[in-house]
Structure 1
């Protein structure tokens, strides 16, 4: 099979999900031809740079505007920016059509709504006739994900069955496999061995992070904890935020361990008792897989607000909106084993650590995605 993935570099999650599924497919059977394409970067590198920088700046400096646009587009078809028209003019270029013709995909998988919407428009106009699969990367269903031309939706949880039905899409198009993450998060570790390997103490530990980009109020959170002088081990991970890493590295505290971007976050989670973080879709999923209770101290507007609702509504974490609240949340989880275990049990119920394998196998066994050699010669891009 020829399987083409489309993603967009808006944060780490969309790319990570595409790569995770693609790698799983290649491990199942390396004979499959698999490629992951950043849609904007492929079609127009300058556009890709503009979009990525605009996204980062908007969430850092004008998050309220980003949140306003997100929420407005949840409830109205007349969005401020006509994304569909923009995509039809810019993304649906000859270069993209040429890519589809050269690659001849049997299935197209989208991990971001922009390429999903663009390809749906192509299908609507009869330019392609290729099975389309979308993989949601947050614990919410934004209408930008919903297109009648999508054949299957990979959903994060059965909790969204009623939301899915609200959009009047046949339920048989939904598969509630979860958000795919690396298989290593399904592994069990000996905590003492992990602590020794990471040069950590095997004591009550809080992992503080802000996703791969190191966003959020990490420095403020640490100030709260140091002011209170809370007696726990703290792991702070700065991700790709070099400025944050340099700042944290200058803090001289015996109970603080600082790291930059790491590839073994699963081990750090295994050595921790709680995670204090912003509620990105991937981070929430990884914490679920490791059954690591979540405390949210900051969130991006839009999808992360919806992820936070999911955390609270399903009892898998707590929200700390103030310094006093944060200290209270930590102490409650540290000193109340029953409350801590209740959260862990809820996480056990919701976790889907094998989502990547389930999604990969589903894609490989889609009936309409396995053409004969004759069908392949009659390629479906018009």
Structure 2
């Protein structure tokens, strides 16, 4: 094992979460003195046309799901318990295998990390004798993440560890690390000192709406109209890189008092830290960011699939609230902001799921694991 290990991180562009997790891991590696870290979007490089089609289908499905056409959600549940060596499982495991072999021959990594479930990775790693690590970027498990040749899993919660153990993985193969997010979230400045203190009124509580780069949160116009009636609050809407949505909302709401419209916000951690609650979709990374700052989470109309399962998990733990109607969302926010004791209890429940410095924890554990040369145990039967 070289002292300065060479690492290949495989990710995907299905949503931003997988790539953000990969970047956080790369940053943590650099902080530990490991500089030879390459991030690769395997699906994009191996099958660019299929990747573009499937990415478009994924985004379109989120937009059409509110009308009942949720083909991504249907496919998620149809394949949730697929076996890795049969049918669709076998097909998914073969995706990107040729391009991955080429990358391994070129990069010659000491280990491969996946923040997206590529079945070809553990199979190839087992053949050539290098460790394969998987960082699960959701609070729920799908069969695509499961493979007998994974050296170690890094998961968000004890519940996920127990689920993996229930299907045969050994306890030492699974670390409850949390989902890796940017280091900035561990050091976000409080509301009274951060860069948004000159924009936001300190006398009003801030409701942050993350509309998303694709506008997939849905009904943002109606949401603004509804939530502006919550007493003693101000609204902040972040449109990401969706310039069309930003222009539309600025045109309609730009002149309203206590309503702030933003496009892409680089220091989103500071804006979240300055907020009293957040309305968002249920991506694993965004939820982890909110948990790290203990900003109460309201999930509106979660999309079927991993996001719905993420939302249901946090709701069962009492760490987030789900709504399906605008009046329900508005009522939930009114009630929580008016109930000091309830607000504190929710933050306490969020603390129980909070995992600080997940990326740093994962890297330290992973580097230690790589030095140990312990044999791969795989699934126990």
TM-score greater than 0.5 by the shorter chain: yes
After superposition, the Cα gap between the structure-2 partners of 1:339 and 1:52, relative to the gap in structure 1 and judged at 3 Å, is same
Deviation track 1:296-319 (CA, whole Å, cap 9, x = no partner) reads 112121001111112211111212
After superposition, the Cα gap between the structure-2 partners of 1:304 and 1:159, relative to the gap in structure 1 and judged at 3 Å, is same
Q: CA deviation at 1:119?
A: 1.6
RMSD over equivalenced CA pairs, Å: 2.3
After superposition, the Cα gap between the structure-2 partners of 1:242 and 1:83, relative to the gap in structure 1 and judged at 3 Å, is farther
Q: Which residue does the alignment assign to 1:271?
A: 274
Distance 1:354 1:360 in 2: 10
Secondary structure of the structure 1 residue equivalent to 2:62 = helix
Distance 1:366 1:339 in 2: 42
Distance 1:243 1:196 in 2: 24
Q: CA deviation at 1:149?
A: 0.6
Q: CA deviation at 1:140?
A: 0.5
Tell whether 2:326 aligns with 1:323: yes
Q: How does 1:81-230 map to 2 (within 5 A)?
A: 82-88=88-94, 90-93=95-98, 95-113=99-117, 115=118, 117-123=119-125, 126=127, 128-194=128-194, 197=197, 199-202=199-202, 203-217=204-218, 218-226=220-228, 228=229, 230=231
Distance 1:133 1:53 in 2: 28
Q: Which residue does the alignment assign to 1:376?
A: none
Distance 2:132 2:182 in 1: 23
Match of 1:260 among 252, 263, 281: 263
Q: Which runs of 5+ in 2 are unaligned?
A: 375-381
Distance 1:78 1:22 in 2: 28
Stretch moving more, 323-332 or 278-287: 323-332
Deviation track 1:71-107 (CA, whole Å, cap 9, x = no partner) reads 121245499982532552x5112x4312101211111
Distance 1:118 1:191 in 2: 45
After superposition, the Cα gap between the structure-2 partners of 1:240 and 1:120, relative to the gap in structure 1 and judged at 3 Å, is same
Q: CA deviation at 1:261?
A: 1.1
Q: CA deviation at 1:109?
A: 0.1
CA contact (8 A) 1:12 1:213 kept: no
Stretch moving more, 344-353 or 169-178: 344-353
Secondary structure of the structure 2 residue equivalent to 1:344 = helix
Distance 1:319 1:336 in 2: 18
Deviation track 1:331-377 (CA, whole Å, cap 9, x = no partner) reads 11111100000011111222112101001111222245779xxxxxx
Distance 1:173 1:12 in 2: 27
Q: CA deviation at 1:195?
A: 6.2
Match of 2:50 among 44, 47, 50: 47
Q: CA deviation at 1:54?
A: 2.5
CA contact (8 A) 2:196 2:271 kept: no
CA contact (8 A) 1:72 1:79 kept: no
CA contact (8 A) 1:69 1:79 kept: no
Distance 1:6 1:369 in 2: 23
Secondary structure of the structure 2 residue equivalent to 1:148 = coil
Q: Which residue does the alignment assign to 2:13?
A: 9
After superposition, the Cα gap between the structure-2 partners of 1:79 and 1:253, relative to the gap in structure 1 and judged at 3 Å, is farther
Distance 1:84 1:195 in 2: 50
Q: CA deviation at 1:40?
A: 1.6
Q: Which residue does the alignment assign to 1:380?
A: none
After superposition, the Cα gap between the structure-2 partners of 1:78 and 1:13, relative to the gap in structure 1 and judged at 3 Å, is closer
Distance 2:96 2:178 in 1: 29
Q: Which runs of 5+ in 1 are unaligned?
A: 372-382
CA contact (8 A) 1:214 1:240 kept: no
Q: CA deviation at 1:42?
A: 2.2
The TM-score with structure 2 as length reference comes to 0.89
After superposition, the Cα gap between the structure-2 partners of 1:20 and 1:162, relative to the gap in structure 1 and judged at 3 Å, is same
Q: CA deviation at 1:185?
A: 0.8
Tell whether 2:223 aligns with 1:243: no
Secondary structure of the structure 2 residue equivalent to 1:205 = strand
Secondary structure of the structure 2 residue equivalent to 1:366 = helix
Number of residue pairs matched by the alignment: 363
Q: Which residue does the alignment assign to 1:351?
A: 354
After superposition, the Cα gap between the structure-2 partners of 1:347 and 1:39, relative to the gap in structure 1 and judged at 3 Å, is same
Q: CA deviation at 1:230?
A: 4.5
